[in-house]
Amino acid sequence: MNRTLFLLSAQAVVGRRRGLVLLLVPLALVGLAVVVRLLTSDAVGVEATVGLGYTLALPLVALLAATAVLGPEVDDGSIVYLLAKPVSRHTIARSKLAAAWLTTTVLGALPLAVAALVLDTSHPGRTLGLAAAGVVAGTVYTALFLALAALTRHAVVVGLLYTLFWEGVIGSVLSGVRWLSVGAWGREVGHAVDGLVDAGGTGLAYALVAAVVVTVGSAWFAGDRLRSFTLRGDE
Q: What is the pLDDT of residue 232?
A: 47
Q: Does residue 82 contact residue 226 with C-beta atoms inside 8 Å? A: no
Q: What is the pLDDT of residue 43?
A: 66
Q: What is the pLDDT of residues 165-215, one digit of tens each?
A: 888 878 777 777 888 899 999 999 999 998 878 888 889 999 999 999 999
Which of 49-63, 71-85, 132-146 comes out lowest in average pLDDT?
A: 71-85
Q: What is the pLDDT of residues 11-20, one digit of tens each?
A: 777 766 667 7
Residue type, 176: G
Question: What does the DSSP 8-state code read for residue 198?
Answer: P
Q: Which of 158, 147, 53 has its CA nearest to residue 108?
A: 53
Q: What is the pLDDT of residues 84-116, one digit of tens each?
A: 666 778 888 898 999 999 999 999 999 999 998
Which of 45-49, 57-61, 82-86, 193-197 comes out lowest in average pLDDT?
A: 82-86
Residue type, 32: L
What are the start-end ranges of the E strands in the chain? none
Q: Does residue 136 contact residue 185 with C-beta atoms inside 8 Å? A: yes
Q: What is the pLDDT of residue 59?
A: 94
Domain ranges of the chain: 3-227
Q: Residue 75: phi, psi to the nearest 5?
A: -65, -45
Alpha-carbon torsion 34, 131, 210, 66, what sign? positive
Q: What is the pLDDT of residues 131-174, one digit of tens each?
A: 999 999 999 999 999 999 888 888 889 999 999 888 887 877 77
Rounded Cα distance between 188 and 206, Å, is 9
Q: Which of 147, 74, 140, 155 has its CA nearest to residue 104?
A: 140
Q: Which residue has the higher pLDDT, 96 or 40?
A: 96
Q: Is the pLDDT of residue 224 over 90?
A: no
Residues near 162 by beta carbon (within 8 Å), at least 6 away in sequence: none
